[in-house]
A and B are shown apart, each in its own frame.
Chain A
């Protein structure tokens, strides 16, 4: 097991509340290989972001832990770069300066000034943002902001790229465009990626594996779906692909039959699980 790239082992986390500790995650186990693209999917509030924040080091697991290349994760750091849902660019800095801030922080000692400048520009080029690199976040569109956010994360040369619903706030067309860019970048750089998403199509299109989470509290991994579609993947060609649609259906079934939305949960939930399994509707893939 020690040759695993990224290991989450028995991760549980509790948050203190006035009425006692509240268990958000319970016993999450996940091993991720280098260069693998993993999506986390689940209903809102199930703790997907919490998993990501624990890997990022922003939260500390109550029990269990995360090991990256044999070292335990104890604090945030640039080798686990995060692309935040709402881009989180510094609004007073231009696109270039936002990326530069990260580059200066990571490569202060190893790169010269000229090299850093080139590296900033290279990463903005990678996300097709060279034309607007001297614009501030409020002068560019939502999709462009997210591109800069990705450029900033990539510029840190992270071992793992963590993306928290990176395209959730974008309109459908922009989102598709960004997904294509991400496929292209990942094919070039072969980063290890963990991405949170709500979007079933996005998960199937981008991932090597889709991790489906049960509803909280005390959420855990319900099922893992291996997506064995050949790369490079093309969204138009895949739209008619039987295998692709099968994967979609798998995820949808998990989300809407085995895991109810949080609104109609608790007492009905376990019952629903039992009946759907009993009817043999769910084709359980081994984790």
Chain B
């Protein structure tokens, strides 16, 4: 694979991919060419093949919203969504500029005038929705981890607690977010009554649902990691008469970090997956709501826009996993371990 072919690809909607590949090429110049072909050309060929098959298959299916969109249509809608985002941003900017001017004029005429600063109330764009979803998933994942890691450590250290909690964990683990959602919705509406709420109910509902679904893998993995600590290290801790906290922080946590992170990564993956469903049903702003709104909208572009969302969801999920991997590399003591 040469840079020329990549440039050729650059004229197609694959521009962003080609750009990425070229910057990668810059970094890995000098690596043996066979290795290069294997690590770059094969995934690219597979991706192109996927696009071709998708395009061919999509044009065969007629729906109430027209033909199922192919790659070109989806790319077009991606650009439309980017434009919409940029327009919205410039509109917002102009709105604030106007407001500032108006207020300045008012103050110039009468220094005692009360000026109001109104927030811009435009509809959230696709990228705003992605951001909202990220915030929601991050908060649920954080809360889930704050509970899951200590519970996992305690279960791993105490066989009695493990026996007590394991059945509960196993029962709740496979429950779908769709089953939790109605319960959470009703409890949130009953319990969270405030005149001046910090969080909207729909946000709480979807965040709690995600927490309930993504807490289990971390608990289970941490438990397994902690209960598999080498007997020798525990003997060392006994001979040294380490206190409980010292033991947990010096021995238990470091040695169970790989398992803990395996759990955290699964949890985050599940959280992201579940979030879309929760947002759809809780009508909480975010990618799920975007998909739902497009579905209800039913324009000829809706399917393509939903497919953009599908790719966005997949890409963000992938990035979240990479992020966890980076974090794991940072906190892991064993820098030689191969993480993937």
Contacts and interface: CB of A to CB of B under 8 A. Distances in A.
Interface of B is mostly: helix
Interface string B13-35: 00000000000000000000000
B299 interface: no
B336 interface: yes
Interface residues of A, number: 24
Nearest to A84: B232
Interface residues of B, number: 18
A96 to B, nearest CB: 14
B241 A76 contact: yes
A57 B237 CA distance: 13
B187 to A, nearest CB: 42
Contact of A91 (B235, B246, B333): B333
Interface string A87-114: 0101111000000011001100000000
B242 interface: yes
Interface of B: 230, 232-233, 235-236, 238-242, 246, 250-251, 254-255, 333-334, 336
Given A101-B240, A101-B250, A58 B235 contact: yes
Contact of A90 (B233, B235, B239): B233
Contact of B235 (A84, A92, A138): A84
A153 B333 CA distance: 24
A93 B334 CA distance: 10
Interface centre among A56, A101, A106 (most CB of B within 10 A): A101
14 contacts: A56-B239, A75-B241, A78-B241, A84-B236, A88-B230, A88-B233, A92-B255, A92-B334, A93-B250, A102-B240, A105-B241, A105-B246, A136-B333, A138-B336
A81 B250 contact: no
Given A75-B241, A76-B241, 6 more contacts: A57-B238, A78-B240, A78-B241, A88-B233, A90-B250, A92-B255
Interface string A129-150: 0000000101000000000000
A92 B239 contact: no
Interface in A28-80: 56-58, 75-78, 80
A219 interface: no
